[in-house]
Structure 1
Amino acid sequence: MIKKKIRGTEDYPRLYIFKSNKHLYAQLIDDYNKHIIATSSTISPEITNNQTLFRTCKTAQLIGKNIAIKSKAKGIQKVVFDRGNNLYHGQIKALADAVREEGIYL
């Protein structure tokens, strides 16, 4: 089975989600110019506040809210959602819902 490749442009960047064993990462990527516009993760200083946080649904909501605020500051209102090989369930769903609540269209 061949999977369709998801691409982001300047107008509609790609919101890519990566889950490691301990952490969760979200990046806004412009594939046309090969440029990362914004990033947020469980290890970024805006999220951790001098605490060690691992990936949970609560931290996924914080990351989603943070990446949405950064994208609105750059003037981006719509993104293409790329969840990688992850199921749309749990932490991925919590992050996507938090982005939608901030006014970004997926």
Structure 2
Amino acid sequence: MANSKRDLFRKRRMRVRSKLRKLADGRPRLSVHRSSKNISVQVIDDVQGRTLAAASTLEKDLGVVGRNNVEAAAKVGAAIAERAKQAGVEAVFFDRGGFLFHGKVKALADAAREGGLKF
């Protein structure tokens, strides 16, 4: 029986999360969510269960409201790197969820690395 697209996404997401849990050393996790219209990212401290920083294309000050392309993802990546540094976070685990690491997710990750986040 063939797996549905949603089932394959869930399998990828659980595989990524289980690997992150094995490596957990107290570093926060940079969690990415991509929809058809927007992209958002959070720096999450799993020990305390708190979001330390967040950025999204829904924010008017980034100037990419409602756009979901590589350029918008790069702006969100740069914004999250800046906000994470303000929150005192230097190194994170990159949690791409079930999304493949190319295109928008890769652009976001590269911009966050250029902004100074280590992962």
TM-score of the superposed pair, with normalisation by structure 1: 0.87
Aligned residues: 104
Partner of 1:33: 48
Query: Which residue does 1:55 correspond to in 2?
Result: 68
The CA RMSD over aligned residues, in Å, is 2.2
Q: Residue type matched to 1:6 in 2?
A: L
Structure holding more helix per residue: 2
Moved over 3 A (4+): 7-11
Structure 1: 5+ residue stretches without partners? none
Which among 25, 36, 47 is matched to residue 21 of structure 1? 36
> Is structure 2 residue 88 aligned with structure 1 residue 75?
yes
Provide the secondary structure at the position in 2 that maps to 1:29. strand
For residues 24-82 of structure 1, give each alpha carbon's deviation from its aligned partner in whole angstroms, at most 9, with x where no partner exists: 0000101111101111000013213xx64311000000000000000111111100000
Alpha-carbon distance in 2 for matches of 1:101, 1:42: 19
CA distance in 2, matches of 1:77, 1:65: 14
1:44 to 59, 64, 88: 59
Shift of residue 11, structure 1, vs aligned partner: 5.0
Quote the offset at 1:5 in angstroms. 5.1
Please tell me whether Structure 1 or Structure 2 has the larger radius of gyration of its CA atoms: 2
